[in-house]
Structure 1
């Protein structure tokens, strides 16, 4: 039985390209519209094209709305692996969930991946490159720092803490509910050589037009090329979501036993492994099965 005190934060964990961002975005849309029947108050750039978006939304909105209640949802942060973060932009983009009307409002909620963030930055006259992302995170963090050096995690419903691993400074962004944290604690920033950077920039050029036009298929093709290039050249790990790392991150961010976290294991990573890893680190956890997604609730 899930009590009213959990969850306080949410972490989606799993192998790359297994729909974690999709679940995050779908839940955000579903949560906000079901809970308050108000607009999201921002744009959501929806870059994944899953057939199970509605089911994903139902799964996580059940946890967030029915089990916890309707807290204000004003931003979503998505970080780790290829994903970067969420930040507000002035120009509007749109998103369509199956069966839902298109949302197209001035930017506030954005979840996407490196290539899309680069394209968004380019469309908004922000000087940013796929391998140099500080300008894409500091509007939320209120400070600069290489994305590879930063971790974002929800410690409570009241805020999100960005921890710079070099300075150990933290900045709190209020009223943020959903966070996806995957970056391993031992990761080090890697700089692409000039010839590889040129390939990334070319992909960004290819991404900007379909992003603006809402062409999901062309956008997906560009993103796949970007991911493949990054993995092949070891700029990002093929997988950075081992259960032990999830548990280490929870400890690094000051989570205490009894605080509520939801951890959804997508893809080949088993939810039971996350539960075990969390328990070994001193985080009480139990498993709740919702559809095909294993969700662990760390809390009473």
Structure 2
């Protein structure tokens, strides 16, 4: 009788929400799409690596021969004897590091003024400065060259460093990140007696590592890959960057495409190293720079 009066234990069921299967399928499709897009992005790089291991007459075969019939590993040793590649790489590194350091310094400092200091016409001045991004470089290329020529800086690395020491994009990127930092921190630092320079250096910069890494990486890659700037301002062979140096394999009637691809692969290595070192900060900085 007691057994009949006892209430049977409740049976627990874990019902899945109605959209659970749809959400899982959506994620799978999303990941599959990203994998396909990633592979498509990697195709030019894979073709470049494959071409660097071929003979010159095998680079543009139709259909594309992704795996060389004979791997020409000696291309990576021959190229050092054909052109002064160490000199070109050193020049590219000098320009990239110098321009990156200056743009990070000037961009972060100017962005602090636009984000944390109130003065009349601040927003209008910022919009006018950012609007210069829309002006193509070809529009002021000739005036810039005339100025550098008058100063006697043509055929020097200093001309390229000075012309690229400031960048509106860097100011925009850093300002957007600074807006996510509470103003109360700056106000508290002012009450403690810190100057604006001290607030920028001791409060704002330590909190801005992701944005600084993003700006540094983008500037480094852009300067390293620059072709037109060094092509216009540098005429001496010992001042050429690696992008200009690879032009030595382009003749009047023919070009050594295998050697060009070999040099291109070598020139990509520093960029890969820099990106891998700053990848975590780069992704975080890009994701949070437009948060506010």
TM superposition score normalised by structure 1? 0.30
Which structure is richer in relative contact order (CA contacts within 8 A, separation 6 or more)?
A: 2
| Structure with greater proportional strand content | 1
TM-score under structure 2 normalisation? 0.30
Larger radius of gyration: 2
Compare the two structures and name the one with the higher helix fraction: 2
